[in-house]
Structure 1
Amino acid sequence: MTSSSYLTVKALTKYIKRKFDADPHLREVYVKGELSNVKIHTSGHIYFTLKDDTARITAAMFRMNASKLKFRPEEGMQVFIRGEVSVYEASGVYQLYAHSMEPDGVGGLFVAFNQLKERLNKEGLFNPNFKQPIPKFPKTVGVLTATTGAAIRDICTTITRRYPLAEIVIYPTIVQGENAAPNIVQNIQLANKQKLCDVLIVGRGGGSIEDLWAFNEEIVARAIFESRIPIISAVGHETDTTIADFVADLRAPTPTAAAELAVPNQHELVQRILQNRSQLHQMVSSKLAYERSRLTKLQKAYPLATPERLYRPFTERLIQMDIQLGRASQLFLMKKSAELQKLDTAIKLHSPKNDIQFYSKQLEQTTNSLTRSIMTVLNKKKDSYLSAIRTLEALNPLAIMSRGYSVSYKNNKVIKSISQIEKGEEISIHYHDGEAQATITKIMDKGE
């Protein structure tokens, strides 16, 4: 056989793939098995192996189909898959391309619910420490639900009946379908931005798990958790439970119950006020009767019947202390008078006139001596100054130059030798009364 009779690997693979694709039994297959080697790519594609006790097949689920899954495929999960079988030409391996996937034994929505519930619980979104208290007397209640249906009617009727002082702000919200979750998040964020409400009721009437699924979406759960306004979740009937119920600050079994939890009952408040007023009246009356009885007993007491006996000992003590104070004052004055007489006698013996004459004479002598010393020092300093002046005048170069001498400079430097100059150079000659510029025309050494 010639080389042209041999197939290329690519051609053979294409032929095999065409056989697979042409087989009607492989275009739509229903397979069940266990997931293994599950890898969810950042692109959204899911790659895995489907296996049973004796065989396995590689499989892939592309992003368009994977985005429709309500649960997250995990290792070891038993699943039902609808898809097609074809050949992956790059590796020459046949594999299963999944179009849909359902968990074996339970619905996909139920699995997704439990997976999200477990993950958010680990993150702390259900932690009671993060729950905000519901205000007891809200001024404004916000309601996020559909404007049609029984839920909005039941909530508004219940709030108006129980607590007509509260205002109601309605945020029309889509609560079912693909656009429901983003719309719920948008209205929760809008309510927080407007800051009109003291509490929010988020919910809808009953329905299937598919109908209520918007309240099981992760974005809704996080919006409820991040809300600074307390949220009461009221989704479905009493038996229905959603992720929103776990994250909310308070869960109500029905929309009507949510309205009852959001506001107090005006009749109960009036009854409580009347009861408190009655109790307060009884307490005040009892207190007044008790104090009146005490006052009567005190008025009849023996000390109050003869009050002068209460302060008589103090009066007597005051009189005694007044007498003692008078005696002490007289003794003090007598003592100070004797001391004053002693001081007067001492002053007379030591007349200040003699002391003043003595110290005046001493001051005069000291002043004269100080004056003579200062004059002596000044004369010495004057002689030293004059001697220094004469010395400076003898050393002054200007004085020498006045006798006919001069100083020559070249480039602002004194010329001390003919070796510093050359013929034709310009020099500066300084006299005692001025300066002259000169040009060297001839240089003669002493030896010439």
Structure 2
Amino acid sequence: MLPRIYQVSEVTRYIKGQLERDCFLQSLGVQGEISNFKHHSSGHMYFTLKDEGATLRCVMFRNQNRNLSFSPRDGLQVIALGYVGVYTRDGVYQLYVEAMEPAGLGSLHLAFEELKKNLAREGLFAAERKRPLPLLPRKVGVVTSPTGAAIRDIITVVKRRFTNMDLIVAPVLVQGERAAPQMVAALKALARVPGVDVIIIGRGGGSWEELWPFNDEGLARAIAACPVPVISAVGHETDFTIVDFVSDLRAPTPSAAAELAVPAKEELHQRLQILAARSRHGIGKILDQGRKTLSALARRRPFTAAEGLFNDKRLLLDGYARDLERTITQYLRNWRSRLSLEAGRLDSLSPLAVLQRGYSIIIAEDGRVVRSAGEVC
């Protein structure tokens, strides 16, 4: 019985699927010698990696190879990082290269790329987690060597820009195996110092091996977890380390880091004057707009009608007040007339009035009232 017959494309797709499901083949590094190198006009690179026993076709697309730090050529020993896939048209498997470095230093660079990719996947480099620097820090922490050029540059710039700014220096090694643990401890210690609002971590230039402690995963995670904003200032402007990617801000040099951390007094004074002028202008505009709004509202019909109604009621109230005043005045006048009349009546009946007309009351010696002339004799 004949086996089942497949199309070429079916077999190729099956092999492609098998390779793409193999975890080992999806992330691996391969060391070999470049041969048959071709940099196509499209920007893609095509070449073969070989050793004494075999060859492996490779392709490195334009988006990946534009970040290469060297120029590939035939005969160069390299380490290539990538994944194995199938080029369906030719039915061949090949290495799709994502990163590549010359052998020797290549292992460090590949480790750097691998850590960079993992931390980026975790979100440690995300722009949204970057914190802004304070406008005017109370104190500036510095993690660097106490004897290097970096600390001298930082001190010079800070004192020039803000004479009385406090610098808290945590001295550490900046190269070698003990450097990264010391920098982690110094970073945590400075973050606990009251008033430290920003931290500079860095060193002067050096070789890739000398800068390697700044690619330490533990240091990167310590910076990400630091409660205080961190500025990196590692090496020269062209040097990039993991610390640069995870810090809140990267400065090309230690001097530039100091300028970013500390404002110049004169610049700060000018900025405050500008802000004050803007505030006054803004408040003035708000008040002017408020006045215009009130004037417009006052001219609207409901307000004018209300004002007319108020005036009518006020006139009516004034009339009531005048009527009341006249009524009270007339009432008091009538009462005065009645009182005068009654007072006259009382006066006419008063004994005093009789006496005033010539009459008198005679009292005898025994106190009796004399009522007739006969009682006097």
Q: Give TM-score, length-normalised by structure 1.
A: 0.43
Whether 2:54 is the aligned partner of 1:53: answer yes
Whether 2:155 is the aligned partner of 1:156: answer yes
* Long gaps (5+) in structure 1: 1-31, 35-49, 55-71, 78-101, 290-309, 327-448
CA distance in 1, matches of 2:189, 2:224: 15
CA distance in 2, matches of 1:287, 1:312: 32
Mapping for residues 165-184 of structure 1, pairs under 5 Å: 165-184=164-183
Whether 2:128 is the aligned partner of 1:133: answer no
SS at the partner of 2:54? coil
Whether 2:203 is the aligned partner of 1:204: answer yes
Name the residue aligned to 1:316.
315
SS at the partner of 1:142? strand
Mapping for residues 101-140 of structure 1, pairs under 5 Å: 104=103, 107-140=106-139
* CA shift in 2, pair 1:128/1:282, >3 Å: closer
CA distance in 2, matches of 1:142, 1:257: 15
User: Which amino acid is the alignment partner of residue 269 of structure 2?
Assistant: V
Per-residue CA shift, 1:23-63, capped at 9, x if unaligned? xxxxxxxxx659xxxxxxxxxxxxxxx99428xxxxxxxxx
Q: Which moved more, 1:231-240 or 1:270-279?
A: 270-279
Name the residue aligned to 1:369.
none
* CA shift in 2, pair 1:240/1:312, >3 Å: closer
* CA shift in 2, pair 1:318/1:229, >3 Å: same
Note the C-alpha offset of 1:219. 1.0
Whether 2:191 is the aligned partner of 1:192: answer yes
* CA shift in 2, pair 1:121/1:266, >3 Å: same
Q: Is residue 139–residue 165 contact of structure 1 (8 Å, CA) maintained in 2?
A: no
User: Which amino acid is the alignment partner of residue 128 of structure 1?
Assistant: A
CA distance in 1, matches of 2:283, 2:190: 47
Task: Report the number of matched residues.
Answer: 222
User: Which amino acid is the alignment partner of residue 270 of structure 2?
Assistant: Q
Q: Is residue 81–residue 110 contact of structure 2 (8 Å, CA) maintained in 1?
A: no
* CA shift in 2, pair 1:124/1:51, >3 Å: farther
Name the residue aligned to 1:254.
253
Mapping for residues 2-151 of structure 1, pairs under 5 Å: 52-53=53-54, 104=103, 107-151=106-150
Note the C-alpha offset of 1:200. 0.3
SS at the partner of 1:194? coil
Q: Is residue 141–residue 262 contact of structure 1 (8 Å, CA) maintained in 2?
A: yes
- RMSD, aligned CA: 4.1
Q: Is residue 138–residue 195 contact of structure 2 (8 Å, CA) maintained in 1?
A: no
SS at the partner of 2:114? helix
* Long gaps (5+) in structure 2: 1-30, 34-50, 56-78, 85-100, 289-308, 326-377
CA distance in 2, matches of 1:120, 1:177: 23
Mapping for residues 291-440 of structure 1, pairs under 5 Å: 313-321=312-320
Name the residue aligned to 2:227.
228
Q: Is residue 234–residue 253 contact of structure 1 (8 Å, CA) maintained in 2?
A: yes
Note the C-alpha offset of 1:284. 9.3
Per-residue CA shift, 1:121-178, capped at 9, x if unaligned? 1111111222122111100000000011211011111111112342110000110111
Q: Which has the larger radius of gyration?
A: 1
CA distance in 1, matches of 2:82, 2:310: 98
Q: Which moved more, 1:102-111 or 1:226-235?
A: 102-111
SS at the partner of 2:258? helix
Q: Which moved more, 1:205-214 or 1:193-202?
A: 193-202
CA distance in 2, matches of 1:161, 1:194: 24
Larger RCO (CA under 8 A, 6+ residues apart): 2
Q: Give TM-score, length-normalised by structure 2.
A: 0.50
CA distance in 2, matches of 1:74, 1:315: 94
Quick one: percent identity of the two aligned structures?
47
SS at the partner of 1:209? coil
SS at the partner of 1:215? helix
